[in-house]
Every structure is written in structure tokens, then in C-alpha cells.
Amino acid sequence: MSAIHSASVTTSAARPTGARANQHALQEAVKRLIVDRGLEPEAPLPTESELMRELGVSRHPLREAMKALQALGIVDIRHGYGTYVGSAAFSGLEAGLAFRGALSVRGDQTDIRNLLEVREVLESGLVGRVLAAHHEIDFAALDAAVAAMEREAASDRYAPDQDWLFHETLYRPLGNPLVLELLQVFWRVFNTLDGQLPRAGDTPSVTAGWHRELLEALRGGDAATVQAAMREHFRGIRARVAELG
């Protein structure tokens, strides 16, 4: 029995039959093949002909499944070279959150408030772990990022690239690239929506000041002071979201 037929039989009682159910089963079969074979990101997948034979499907549904998996970052189709295991980046998550956030800004603001809460909880929880790795914090890089923000603020300009560089450098000592990817998703979502949020007193100088305060709190190494500085940073973002209402 082929992998895709087996998947369809196993799940037929739980899902309606039809093209959509078959596509879902086929995508699951490809993912299971990757996992069962222990393929790492960048590893080549079997050729299209081999996958058709192994999964017992024709070319068209297989290509549709691979396109869907590529959109999720699970596979990487390189025309003329083959198909490889993808890095499963958060691009799909980022696009979805940005879309929901944009709708929320023009609607009842529920989703944008919830997104902000998740981001604040995540960063506030992680900053304590950063303090535990105090000796690994790159204070020179953090200071350079804040100084660049302050220089731009002197000309009444924001410095979003330096803003992200500050946050990326802050959490790098955790040694968790997945954390950095997830944090970047939330940062990018809010950066995308930045022009749609009222300023509520959040001038370039104020923004740079929040980061300077957080940096100096980190230098001091006191957990309570760091948490207070982090709350102040997010208080400003919360005020901007509140102005929408």
C-alpha cells in the first residue's frame, strides 16, 4: 500500500474525502518521509519521479503539495537543481500575523493588543535569562546601536535597523537561534504596522531613551531594574496601541 493511500485510509474517518483531504494527506506523507529518513535542512529530497513512485501519486497533485510545503518553508524547490529540505522559517507565521495585525488596527484592536502582550511576555521572560549570562552580553555592540539611534534622533529620525540590532544583540547570549527568529517575527510585524500606529509622544528621542535606559540597567546587572526598564519600553508601545481606540 502506498504512503499516500495509507495516510488517506488512516484519516478518512476524521476528515471529509475529496481533493482537499487528499492534498493534506499527501503533504503529511512528504513530511513523514523527511522525518523518517532523518533528512536535515538543505538535504536533497528524492527526485519527482522517485516521489511519485514511492507515494503512489501522479505528477500534478505532487507538485501542488510541494508548492504548499514550500510556502511553509518545509521544502525548498530550486528549479533546475532539485528539491531540498527547507529551514521551515517563520515566514508564513509572520505574514499571517502581519495581516491579522493590519486588520486589527482598522478594526477592534483585539489582535494587535494580543500580539503585543505575547511579545512583551516573551521578551520580559527572556531578559532575566540574559542577565544570567551577563558576562556574554556584547555591551559594545548594544552601546553602538543605541548611539546610532541617538544620532538619528538628533535629526528627528527613527532608526529601525538599529532598534532590531539592539534586540538581536540583547538575546544572542541565549544561544537559541529559534528564539531570535521568533522575536524577529514579532519585531517585524510591529515595524510593518509602525506607520499605522499613533505616536502618542513616542518621538525618536523617547524611543532612543528607552533603549539607553534598558542598556544601563543591564550594565548594572540588577534584575528588578532591568525588568522595570523593559516594562517602560513596552509601556510606550502599549500607549500607541491604546491611542487607536
CB 55 within 8 A of CB 2: yes
CB 2 within 8 A of CB 56: yes
Asked whether the whole model's pTM tops 0.75, one would answer no
- Cα separations in angstroms, 27 against 10, 35, 49, 123, 197: 14, 13, 16, 34, 39
Our measurement of the distance from residue 155's CA atom to the centroid of its chain's CA atoms, rounded to an integer in Å, reads: 31
Q: Is the dihedral of CA 58, 63, 65, 66 positive or negative?
A: positive
pLDDT tens track for 95-125: 889 999 999 988 889 999 999 999 999 999 9
CATH 1.10.10.10 given to domain 3-85: yes
CATH fold match for the domains 3-85 and 91-244:
no
Domain boundaries, the chain: 3-85, 91-244
Residues of the chain under the 70 pLDDT cut: 1-17
CB count, 10 Å around CB of 12? Answer: 12
Residue type, 91: S
Alpha-helical (H) ranges within the chain are 3-11, 19-36, 48-55, 59-71, 91-105, 110-132, 139-154, 160-171, 177-193, 204-220, 223-244
Cell readout for 210 is 528607552
Structural class in CATH, domain 91-244 = mainly alpha
Confidence (pLDDT) at 119: 93
